[in-house]
Structure 1
Amino acid sequence: MSTHVGPIDVDALRARLDKAATAATVAGVDALLITPGSDLRYLIGAGGSSFERLTCLVLPVGGTPVLVVPKLEQPGYAAVPTGELGVDVATWVDGEDPYALVRRALKGTDRVAVADMMPALHNLSLRDAIGGDQVLAGPILRELRMRKDASEVEALRKAGAAIDRVHARVGEWLRPGRTEAEVGADIAAAIVAEGHELAEFVIVGSGPNGASPHHSLSDRVIEAGDVVVVDIGGPVAEGYNSDSTRTYVLGEPRDKDVWDTYAVLQAAQRAAVDAVKPGVTCESIDAAAREVIADAGFGEYFVHRTGHGIGLDVHEEPYIVGGNDLVLEAGMAFSVEPGIYLPGRWGARIEDIVIATDTGVESVNNRPHDLVVLPA
């Protein structure tokens, strides 16, 4: 993970730091310890990189935040407006003890929440240095992160439009005689060309490979009649991610049940999106898609949750899955992506990123949901 710094909104970041400190108080901890990753980017605008040298934002509930950072890596955070954010910076060099700097910033506090993805190397060393009780920071920060503000929603719209442009071009590369890997390389280049920082993931699942939801790329040669699942995404400059799936077919599908089965999938995805509005539960959205697929006799072939939250991470809260009784609120953003996977034969998925609004739902992806027929 690089120390890339995207567009900075000082007021928004300052508000996030204040809200995070308040949330920590409510959770019964005295400080958050946030190492490089998406939580750090959410709070100060830069995600940083986690190496053997400790970088850590110490966010006490009643004091001044301190960014502990190796002196040699401090230039990577030069674009972070620490002064305007009210964040002190404490640097250290090899041979000094960075964990002592964290202990000093905590001012005797030992009830802390640590970043979920903090490397064990640092977590165990911090535990030795400060003692006390430690819990995960993720459950505290996710309450903030899964409710997107206006700037975050705009970044998701930008990402959605960019990945839509890539799907509109898939016909340039997807054709019989090419391998999945060759097609995937062209798609990855287009993801960057159409406005992303990088291609976070590219799935091209042709024929029987499409029946594996997390298939990536292979040397399989795409054939006429193949159904092909293309699931792609990545971050834009603001750090927010796209994630969209469309299903293609090269000429007339080899299997004659494709059209009727795909129609079931379309109805399921539409039912789930139509069910999105504030006040309903995540599990009810999952049920809306699952019921359509199960009623058509394909229940056992829908093998994953209906969706996942998205933002600075491709997968984050809220998860659209059975058993999750979390109530949707305006600003929550997530995928709606039911699929039908017939082992050894073919698979299909339709995925849009949607955002719950005050009155219903907004989709940031607007490509047609039809099975896309390309020349064979």
Structure 2
Amino acid sequence: MDPGYALTKLVRAYYDCRRHKRNSESALQFEMNLEDNLRELDAELQAGTYRPGQFQVTVITRPRPREVWASEFRDRVVHHLLHNEISERFEKSFIANSCACIPGRGPSYAAQRVDSCARSITQNWSTPAHYIKMDLANFFVSIDKRVVWPLLAAKITDPWWRNLAYLILFHDPRTNYIICCPERLLKLVPKHKSLFGKPAHMGLAIGNLPSQFDANVLLNVLDQFVKHQIGARYYVRYVDDFVLLHKSVQFLNDAHDRIEELLRTLGLALNEHKTIRQPVERGIDFAGHVIKPWRRETRRRTVHTALARIQAAPPGDVYAMTNSYLGLLRQTSSHHDRALIANAARRRGHCVDASLTKIFQHTA
């Protein structure tokens, strides 16, 4: 038994997990007999008999169909346990412009970093520059666990934690799952984007913390290569989308070719249909935002989706949903878009403040 593990760490992991999943069915079942469930899980971890449980498979259709493999709540607690123990030692080596699955580095942070890069390289939009934006093809289902493992093992020297990391990484979710959506939705997912039919060592399940973290560890190889081998000063990555900015178009084209070569060694490839080369002044669509000279806008698709969801949402969901979208839009130059969202909320019977930044529940 590794002395670095303790029940107190498991309890902390439970509270971290509960913060996001408290109202899920598996979370409620776990909490009904909380103390016994935690002690049972603790005993399994200490004895080395813990094994991941059943996955719930569903399909989300926006912005395009993809599978989501959700773990049971008790397994999510273990995911947080491992993440709390090892994440800091990896994040210390991540570059500042590596975004996603790092506290404080979500889509807004990523867009702000691109905005900062654009302003810097153009000297506050006064001189021309160019960018290339690239996207990885079928990223999560293309990840080879055998490539990820040496990267994890290099920084997890404690045998107990290393064994737990190995167990979680190499567990095949297809050995125990239940489908929680109509079969017609599963058929919408292209075969090359599905975990079904992949070898056991291929693909990470979308919908779990370890998958996001392991993907970040893998792509840190790309980040370090771009920054230190290619020498790109202006580079930002958000999950599997990344952008480079430079004065020279030839520099960007050469960088593209060298990145392609590196990705082949990792078992990954670019989606060339999504590669964009343009002058910076035309706008950079990145992480849900569009960075333009002197302003940052919300992607049009996000606004249209928000309007449709607010219109169709059950009455009890409108308040939280609308305030969430208004919070997102507050971070951009979006007065017109906020007005559209506010009007949609008014039509659902809610009041809006004068600055169009928050709605209030209607009271009789």
Band of TM-score, shorter chain: under 0.3
Greater share of strand: 1
Greater share of helix: 2
- TM-score of the two chains, using structure 1 as the length reference: 0.25
